[in-house]
């Protein structure tokens, strides 16, 4: 991921703003001793939680959409332990 990309910077700024806005709103309300409905407080506290939930759901969907290929995983493991693919398959079949 290239952090110099404009889209990445905008996405990072949006995430930071989404997480910074609710506490800033609540601190401002408390400092100015304003009366706000409870739904505003619940929304301010729930926004970051909703964003985290949606982000995790997106990541889970992306990960689940790419199935593992056991033969490729086995070949990679064999290379890491210094075996040939055939030797690794024989070892794992036993």
Instruction: Look at residue 75 and tell me if it is in a domain.
Output: no
Instruction: Look at residue 28 and tell me if it is in a domain.
Output: yes
Q: pLDDT (tens digit, 9 = 90+) per residue, 47-76?
A: 888 888 998 898 888 877 766 666 677 777
Residues 28, 30: Cα–Cα separation, whole Å: 5
Q: Please, what is the angle between helix 85-93 and helix 70-80, to 10°?
A: 110
Instruction: Look at residue 12 and tell me if it is in a domain.
Output: yes
Q: pLDDT (tens digit, 9 = 90+) per residue, 17-56?
A: 878 888 888 899 999 999 999 998 898 888 888 888 998 8
0.85 exceeded by pTM:
no
Instruction: Look at residue 34 and tell me if it is in a domain.
Output: yes
Half-sphere exposure of 31 (CA within 13 A, CB side): 6
Instruction: Look at residue 81 and tell me if it is in a domain.
Output: no
Instruction: Look at residue 52 and tell me if it is in a domain.
Output: yes
> Considering its fold, how many domains does the chain have in total?
1
Domain holding 62, by residue range, is: 6-66
Instruction: Look at residue 21 and tell me if it is in a domain.
Output: yes
Give SS3 for 46: helix
């Amino acid at each position: 991921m290239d952090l110099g990309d404009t889209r990445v910077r905008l996405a990072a700024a949006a995430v930071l703003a989404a997480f910074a806005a609710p506490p800033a709103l609540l601190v401002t309300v408390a400092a100015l001793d304003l009366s706000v409905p409870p739904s505003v407080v619940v929304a301010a506290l729930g926004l970051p939680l909703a964003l985290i939930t949606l982000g995790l759901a997106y990541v889970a969907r992306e990960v689940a959409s790419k199935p593992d290929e056991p033969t490729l995983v086995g070949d990679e493991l064999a290379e890491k332990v210094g075996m040939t693919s055939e030797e690794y398959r024989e070892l794992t079949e036993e």
